[in-house]
């Protein structure tokens, strides 16, 4: 599909229609692969947040919730399935917009759109199944009481999302929130909002009841912060950096508002000496160079058994040299640009600090010579790293892998856990018992064995430590948006008998 000459000019999606932002301001959209400004998005502020939250509240309570929050799950499932069908119809177009907005290879963006559609379909099924799970009985130790559990939508939820998988990360929240019967205000990242705005168009096309999903674009401080602090937002689900996550948590604590936080990572990949080196190298590359390393769970710390370290690194460099780095719209591109000039500068600073701290840039570390414009960075492999180096400790969020060697399984686990983060970890070895031991020992929410990064909508996703808490995807993702109510009934004809009845005189 050819690049459109202009991207669609959208307003904020509030109450089922498009609105200009209250202050009339817009933010430029820059294609990071060309540095050209290709359009703009609305810059929402607190006034718009007010309107969006109010639209979501109206939609939650409209007609006593008959059309949405208390409607049968099958009703909501119908809308989710219709959204999935539209995403599939528009897959090529949405993938193109995602690539123009974020710099990710078109093949990756197309894969993301398939995952988006699959996620809406999956939560449509869970919405349908929810009714059958209501009134689950609780077994009690007293015969004169009966108890059951109702699962009710939490209410109006604020969904704040990042730029690395713009529509997919939004969908991981929107689909389960809507399936649960919540109504929502989505605030995507100001760095990549185009496909999320298109989701608004899709909601209008399929006739989603007005206000069920509202989409406001804009800066974190101007649109995200008022959403997080809004007293009529019942929960905040956030994906983004640990720093912003801390701020959201502080704000939410003032109202004892529940939050779920999917934050950053610095995940390890441990490779033992009994592996097929080329197969393991490919997983190491996929683990840290896919999406230009802008992946929360990127296995950006590579731990190599000393017996294979030299051979592994030789092959890693050879494979890294063969990656096609190009305009992300070119066929076969496997490394596009990073998302923005700011991100480019940040990654370059990490690389120069690593050099200053005594690490070796074994490969990469610069702009590819054949690309004069755009925010491109070579796949970068850093060795001679110390555990006190910034490159070992901090999330880069770029195509940069740092390497350390180990001798024993115990040392590998110690190095793997030497981080404040706890999102993911991976181990590659032909000894499956060892892999099982290591999966238990790694302090993270996700462990991959003999691979890195595969992600399935059916399986729980989320981290420990400073990578956040709460789980998305699977049944856990739906539970994020449901509140559990106990209903207990006294079912004996006899008086309870705790107090003596007063005299009848
Ligand atoms: N754990 C996961 O599943 C997961 C997935 C994707 C990305 N991430 C993490 O996201 C980060 C990259 O994303 P980013 O740069 O967009 O993160 P970010 O924290 O800068 O921004 C995330 C979102 O928060 C908004 N925001 C910023 N300041 C805010 C404030 N004060 N109040 C409310 N909202 C505010 C932004 O506008 C954006 O929509 C990385 O750390 C990455 O690891 C985590
Ligand atoms: C979850 N994932 C890998 C799709 C995106 C994380 O940044």
Kindly report, residue by residue over 234-282, the tens digit of the pLDDT. 999 999 999 999 999 999 999 999 999 999 999 999 999 999 999 999 9
Kindly report, residue by residue over 121-149, the tens digit of the pLDDT. 999 999 999 999 999 999 999 999 999 99
Would you state the structure tokens that stand for residue 332, as one six-digit string? Answer: 């076969």
Pocket lining: 395 vs ligand 1, CB cutoff 6 Å: yes
pLDDT at residue 4 is higher than 70: no
Gyration radius from the chain CA atoms: 25
pLDDT score recorded for residue 6: 65
**ipTM of the assembly?**
0.96
pLDDT score recorded for residue 504: 76
Query: What mean pLDDT do residues 377-388 have?
Result: 98
Pocket lining: 264 vs ligand 1, CB cutoff 6 Å: yes
In the reported structure, the alpha carbon of residue 452 is separated from the centroid of ligand 1 by a whole-number distance in angstroms of: 22
Residue with tokens 């997983």: 283
Give 11-74 as a DSSP string: -EEETTEEE--TT--EEEEE-TTT--EEEEEE---HHHHHHHHHHHHHHHHGGGGTTTTTS-HH
Label the pairing between strands 12-14 and 17-19: antiparallel
Confirm if 250 and 171 have CB atoms less than 8 A apart.
Answer: no
Query: What mean pLDDT do residues 208-219 have?
Result: 98
pTM: 0.97
Q: Give dist(CA 396, CA 265) in Å, integer.
A: 9
Taking CB atoms and a 6 Å cutoff, what residues make up the pocket around ligand 2? 164-165, 168, 295-297, 455
Nearest to 137 by CA among 459, 496, 491, 501: 491
Q: Give dist(CA 69, CA 81) in Å, integer.
A: 17
Catalytic residue (one of 98, 190, 262, 405): 262
Q: Is 222 a catalytic residue?
A: no
pLDDT at residue 339 is higher than 60: yes
Kindly report, residue by residue over 349-373, the tens digit of the pLDDT. 999 999 999 999 999 999 999 999 9
Nearest to 463 by CA among 301, 306, 263: 263
Kindly report, residue by residue over 59-79, the tens digit of the pLDDT. 999 999 999 999 999 999 999
């Amino acid at each position: 599909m050819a690049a459109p000459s202009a991207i669609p000019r959208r307003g904020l999606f509030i109450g089922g229609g498009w609105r200009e932002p209250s202050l009339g301001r817009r933010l430029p959209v820059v294609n990071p692969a060309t540095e050209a400004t290709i359009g703009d998005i609305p810059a929402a502020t607190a006034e718009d947040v007010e309107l969006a939250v109010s639209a979501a509240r109206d939609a939650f309570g409209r007609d006593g919730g008959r059309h949405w929050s208390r409607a049968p799950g099958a009703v909501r499932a119908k809308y989710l399935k219709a959204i999935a069908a539209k995403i599939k119809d528009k897959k090529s177009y949405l993938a193109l917009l995602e690539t123009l907005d974020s710099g990710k290879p078109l093949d990756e963006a197309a894969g993301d759109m398939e995952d988006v559609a699959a996620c809406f379909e999956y939560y449509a099924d869970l919405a349908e199944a929810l009714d059958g799970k209501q009134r689950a009985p609780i077994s009690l130790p007293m015969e004169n009481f009966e108890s059951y559990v109702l699962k009710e939508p939490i209410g109006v939820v604020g969904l704040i999302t990042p730029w690395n998988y713009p529509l997919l990360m939004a969908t991981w929240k929107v689909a389960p929130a809507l399936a649960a019967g919540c109504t929502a205000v989505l605030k995507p990242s100001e760095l990549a909002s185009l496909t999320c705005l298109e989701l608004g168009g899709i909601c209008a096309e399929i006739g989603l009841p007005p206000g069920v999903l509202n989409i406001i674009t804009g800066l974190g401080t101007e649109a995200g912060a008022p959403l997080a602090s809004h007293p009529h937002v019942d929960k905040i689900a956030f994906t983004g950096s640990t720093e912003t996550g801390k701020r959201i948590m502080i704000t939410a604590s003032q109202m004892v508002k529940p939050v779920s936080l999917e934050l950053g990572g610095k995940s390890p990949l441990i490779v033992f000496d009994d592996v097929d080196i080329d197969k393991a190298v490919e997983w190491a590359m996929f683990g840290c160079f896919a999406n230009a390393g802008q992946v929360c769970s990127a296995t950006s710390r590579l731990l190599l058994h000393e017996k294979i370290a030299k051979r592994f690194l030789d092959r890693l460099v050879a494979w890294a040299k063969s990656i096609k780095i190009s305009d992300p719209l070119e066929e076969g591109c496997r490394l596009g640009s990073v998302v923005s000039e700011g991100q480019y500068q940040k990654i370059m600073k990490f690389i120069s600090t690593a050099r200053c701290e005594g690490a070796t840039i074994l490969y990469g570390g610069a702009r590819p010579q054949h690309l004069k414009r755009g925010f491109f960075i070579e796949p970068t492999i850093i060795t001679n790293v110390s555990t006190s180096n910034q490159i070992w400790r901090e999330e880069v969020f770029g195509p940069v892998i740092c390497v350390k060697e180990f001798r024993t399984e115990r040392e590998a686990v110690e190095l793997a856990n030497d981080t404040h983060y706890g999102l993911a970890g991976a181990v590659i070895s032909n000894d499956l018992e060892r892999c099982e031991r290591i999966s238990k020992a790694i302090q993270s929410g996700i462990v991959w064995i003999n691979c890195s990064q595969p992600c399935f909508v059916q399986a729980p996703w989320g981290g420990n430590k400073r990578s956040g808490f709460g789980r998305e995807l699977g049944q856990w993702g739906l539970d994020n948006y449901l509140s559990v109510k106990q209903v207990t009934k006294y079912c004996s004809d006899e008086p309870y008998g705790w107090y003596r009845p007063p005299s009848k005189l």
